[in-house]
Amino acid sequence: MPETTPAPNGIVLVDKPGGITSHDVVARARRALNTRKIGHAGTLDPMATGLLILGVGPATRLLTYIVGLDKTYEATIRLGISTDSDDADGTVTARADAAALAAVTADGITAGIAALTGDIEQVPSTVSAIKVGGKRAYDLARAGEEVALKARSVTIGRFELTATRTGPDGIDLDVVVDCSSGTYIRALARDLGAGLGVGGHLTALRRTRIGPFDVAAAATEIAPDATLLAPAVVAADVLGAFPVTADEARDLRHGKRLAGAAARLETPTPAAIDPDGVLVGIVERRGSDVKSSMNMAEGAS
């Protein structure tokens, strides 16, 4: 009887090119890896490039633990022009006059960036995937409906200006941003421009990091023999490792608690990894015991 090739299982780091959607990347990966079970952790707009993390096979269950990680972006903000989407894909809604742009100073930009750094309240861009009454905000906006999104708390750990260029269309600022999940870099561009009285939007965006994963390790094309990061390695990098014996692995897979094992936990929800280096699942404390909160299917290495 011929041997069957095991179904792919793991995490793939992709460097998404501009001009395609995150769904397009997933579709390409499904064709290349010959499997339907692929998802991604965190959408990138078509205009944006950079790191997109795909889960393949059983490892798609890890995406929920990856999507909330902090991120790093490189971006270009154009001061002087506002758009309805807060980025270059939108329709221009306002242009600052030359006098207003001339009044923008380096100190003013520095102060504006400082005001948007740290723990802030941010209203997401109207053209976003956030649901309002069960419908995507961008669908409502494109249908001409008024969209009022609520402010959300986000953390901007770094908002660093790396270059400034003045041109006929406005002032371009190259920036690097470290931020919590759920931050809209487009909204930072909008709010910085608004604070300076000239408007602003995003003209370029590249995601370079998600948690411990860097775009430098990502592939630009997904081939049938693409390298998949092992679920155990990824889970340990994201959540920390909780080594278990073969007997403990069996008990966790059968839904049993590990009595008195909570003292061994080094992180709140680590990855239980058996002696063969296989991910058993994600565990958590229950009093003095350890219990599985998510089990990987047996046989999924």
Residues marked as catalytic: 45
Contacts of 250 (CB under 8 A, 6+ apart): none
Q: Which position has the token pair 């296989």? A: 278
The Cα-based distances of 54 to 51, 61, 63, 229, 230 in angstroms read 10, 11, 8, 10, 12
For 222, list phi and psi in degrees, rounded to 5: -100, 115
Nearest to 233 by CA among 10, 8, 6: 10
* DSSP for 263-289, written as a single string: GG-SSSSPEEE-TTS-EEEEEEEETTE
CA pair distance 287, 282, nearest whole angstrom: 16
CA pair distance 176, 179, nearest whole angstrom: 10
